[in-house]
Structure 1
Amino acid sequence: MKFSVSLYLERKSPDMLMTEVAQNALALAKLSDQGGFEMIWTAEHHTIELTVAPNPFTFLTWIGQHTEQIRLGTATVVAPYWSPIRLAGEAALCDHLTGGRLELGIARGAYQYEFDRMAGGIPQQQGVAYMKELVPAVRKLWEGDYAHAGEIWNFPTATSVPKPLQQPHPRIWVAARDPGTFDWAIAQGANILSTPLAAPNSEIAVLGEKFRKACADHPEMPRPRFMMQRRACLYTKPEERETAIRCSMEYGRLFENLFQNLGAVTNGFPEAVPYEAVAGKENYDPQNIERNFLFGTPDEVIEKLLDYEAAGVDQVSLGINFNVPFELQKKTIELFAKEIIPFFAARESRSALEAAQ
C-alpha cells in the first residue's frame, strides 16, 4: 500500500495572508516529496476561501517546479465546469510542465453552493452525466482530430494542443461512491478515487466490496488502482489530540454548509452551521472522530490502515487540510514518512519475497 497527501491552499479567516498560506503548502509539498509519498492530490473549488483552488493545474505546475519525483494529481477536476477541449489541453500542458507526472482525477462535483454559481444551478447529482461524456471525449482529443456530438457538448473536428507527454496519456481516475459509478469507471479503464467521508470504518469494507464487484463484472479490464482518502492527523501529545478533534468538528460544520447549502458565505468564508442542522450528528462525537479518521499515534494509525489494506486499497490519501495548525500538518507528514511508510514498505517486501518462494 502506498500513501499520498491531499493538499491545497486553505484560509479560515481574512487575517491569514495568501503569501503565508502558499508558502506553507509548498513546504508540505516538499516534505511529502522527500518523505517517500507517492502522490500529491489537489482539488478544484471556486469562490471558497476554505479551499483556494480555482485551477488545480496551476497549483500542480507550481508544486512540480519545487519537487523532484512525487506524482501530481487532480482530486478532482469537476466535470460540469469544463469543456472537453479545454480540459484535454490544460491537462496535457500540465503534464509537460511537470515532467510527465500528472494524474488526472475527475468527479461529478459535490458542493451545491458551487453548482449554483458555476453550473447554472443544476442539482449536483446531475454532474455525473457531464463526467460520463467528458472522460471519453478527452481521451479522443488526446489521440488526435476528433469531432463530438453529445448531449452536453458539440464541436467540430478539433484536437488537444498540446498532446500529453505521457503515452498514451496520463492515468485517469474517477471519484466513485455509488455502485453505478464504480462499474462505469472500471469499464472505462479508469482508476478509482473514493472516500468514506466521516462514516465509521465499516464503510471502508463497503466501498471495497463495490470495487471488487465492479472489477469482477469487467474481467476484460486490467485491475485498476484503488485510492481512498481520509482525514488524517498524527499526534503524540494530549493537547495535539484535542486540537485535531476540535478542528475536525469545526471544519465539518463548514463542509455541511457548502455541501447542503445550509448557511451564508461572506466574502468567500462559509459560516459554520449549527450542530442541530448537520447530517450524521454521531460523526461529530469526539470519540467517533478519533475512531473514524486516521487520527492517533503512528501505532494506532497503522492498526487502522490494516482495514484499508484488507479492503483492497492500494493508496491511502491523507486529508491534512481541515484548518488544523500548520505545525501539526507538518508533524503528520513527518511521522508518516518516518514510521508508517517504512512499515508498509517492509510489509510489501515480505509479501513479494514469500510469493517468489
Structure 2
Amino acid sequence: MKFAVAISMERSSPNVSMKTVIANVLELARTADEGGFETLWTSEHHTLECTIAPNPFQTLVWLGQHTRRIRLGTGTLAAAYWNPIRLAAEAALCDHLTDGRLEFGIARGSYQYEFDRMNPGVHQREGVGYMKELLPAVQKLWQGDYAHEGHYWNFPSTAAVPKPLQKSPPIWVAARDPGTFDWALSIGANIMSTPLSLPAAEIRVLSEKFEKAVADHPEVPRPRFMMQRRTCVYAKPDDWEVPVRHSMDFGRTFENLMQNIGTVRDGFPEAVPFESVKGKENYDPESIRRNLMFGTPDEVIEKLLDYEAAGVDQYCLGLSFNLPFEQQRQTLRLFIDEVMPFFAERERQRDRQRALSL
C-alpha cells in the first residue's frame, strides 16, 4: 500500500493572511515529497475560504516547481464547471509543466451552494451526467482531432493544445455508488473513494463495490483503488481532543454547504447548529476518534491494516479540515518517521517471500 496526502489552502478567519496559508501549504508539500509520499492531491472549489482552489492546475504547477518526485493530482476537478476543450488543454499543459507528474482526478462536484453560483439551476446530483460526458471527450481530445455532439457540449472537429507529456495522465474518478464504480472501470479509470465518517466496516463495503466492478470488466486492466480519510497522528493517546473538535466543526460547515442551509459571509461558511446536521451519530466524539484516522502511530498502523486487507492500493491522508497547522506538520512527520517504515518493511518481506518462491 502506497501513501498520498490531500492538501488545500484554507482559511477560517480573515485574520489569517494568504501569505501564511501559502507558506504552510508549501512546507507540507515539500515535507511529503522528501518523506516519500507517492501523490499530493489538491481539489477544486470556488467562492469559499475554507478551500481556496479556483484552479487546481495553478496550484499543482506551482508545487511542481518546489518538489522533485511526488506525483501531483487533482483531487478532484468538478466536472460541471468545465468545457472539455479547455480542460483537456489545461491538464495537458500542467502535465508538461510538472514533468509528466499529473494525476487527473475528477468528480461530479459536491456542494449545492457552489453549484448555485457556478452552474445555476443544476442540482448537484446532475453533476454525474456532466462527468460521464466530459471525461470521455477529454480522453479523445488528448488523442487528436475530435468533434463532439452531446447533451451538454457541442463543438466541431478540433484539437486540444498541447497534448499531454504522458501518453495519457492516469485518470481517477471519485466514487461511492456502484454505478459510478462500474462506469469508471468501463473507461479504464482508477477509483478514489472515502468511507466518510462511517465505521471501519464501510471500508469493506467500498472494497466490495470495487471488486465487483473489476470482475464485471475483465476487458480492462485492473485499476488502482485509493481511499481518503481525515487524518491526524499525535504522540500521546490523550491528544485526540483537538482533531476531533476540529473535525466536528468542519463537519457542520460541510453540512451548511451540502444542504445549502447556512450562511456564508465574505467567503467564510458558518457551521450550522448541531440540531440541523444529518447523521447525528457521526458527531459523537468517541465515534469520530474511532472511525477517522486519528491516533498515535501504533493506533494508526492498526487502522491502516484494515485498508490494506481491503485491497486499497493508496491511502490518502486528508489534512485539510481546519486542523491547526502544527498538528498538520506533526501528522506528516510522525507518519513519515513511524508509520510508513512499518509498511515499507512489510513490502520488503513480501518481496523476499516472492523471490524465494520462484
Regarding TM over 0.5, the answer is yes
The 2-side partners of 1:277 and 1:236 are apart by 34
Rate the CA distance shift 1:353–1:239 in 2: closer, same or farther, 3 A: closer
Q: Counterparts of 2:209 and 2:223 in 1: how far apart (Å)?
A: 13
Q: Which runs of 5+ in 1 are unaligned?
A: none
Quote the residue 1:173 is aligned against: 172
Q: Equivalent residue for 1:302?
A: 301
Paired residue type of 2:213: A
Provide the C-alpha distance between the structure 1 equivalents of 2:83 and 2:171, rounded to a whole number of angstroms: 16
The aligned amino acid for 2:90 is: E
Q: Deviations over 1:76-106 (max 9, x none)?
A: 0000000110100000000000010000001
SS at match of 2:240: helix
- 1 CA distance for matches of 2:166 and 2:321? 33
Name 2:9's counterpart in structure 1.
Answer: 9
Q: CA deviation at 1:236?
A: 1.5
**Cα displacement string for residues 97-130 of structure 1 (whole angstroms, at most 9, x for unaligned residues):** 0010000001001100001011123111111111
- Unpaired stretches in structure 2, ≥5 consecutive residues: none
Q: Which residue of 2 aligns with 1:285?
A: 284
Task: Work out whether residues 230 and 318 of structure 1, in 8 Å CA contact, stay in contact via their aligned partners in 2.
Answer: yes
Instruction: Please report how far the alpha carbon of residue 350 of structure 1 lies from its aligned counterpart in structure 2 after TM superposition.
Output: 1.3
- Give the C-alpha shift of residue 352 in structure 1: 2.3
CA contact (8 A) 1:240 1:328 kept: no
SS of the residue corresponding to residue 27 of structure 2 reads helix
| 1:194–1:229 CA contact under 8 A, matched in 2 | yes
Output one character per residue of 1:289-339: Cα deviation in whole Å (capped at 9) or x when no partner: 110100000000000011111111010110011111111100100111111
Q: Would you say how many aligned residue pairs link Structure 1 and Structure 2?
A: 356
Moved more, 231-240 or 87-96: 231-240
Report if the CA contact (8 A) 2:43-2:53 is conserved. Answer: yes
Q: Report the Cα offset of residue 239 of structure 1.
A: 6.2
Q: Which amino acid aligns with 2:30?
A: K
**Counterpart in 2 of 1:249?**
248
TM-score (norm 1): 0.98
Distance 1:117 1:7, change over 3 A: same
Equivalent position of 1:65 in the other structure: 65
Q: What is the SS of the residue equivalent to 1:221?
A: coil
1:220: how far off?
1.0
Give TM-score, length-normalised by structure 2: 0.98
- The alignment's C-alpha RMSD in Å is 0.9
Identical-pair percentage: 66
Per-residue displacement from partner, 1:242-299 (whole Å, max 9, x unpaired)? Answer: 1111111111110111111110101100011011111111111111111010000000
Correspondence 1:1-40 to 2 at 5 A: 1-40=1-40
Q: Which residue of 2 aligns with 1:154?
A: 154
Higher mean C-alpha deviation, range 274-283 or range 95-104: 274-283
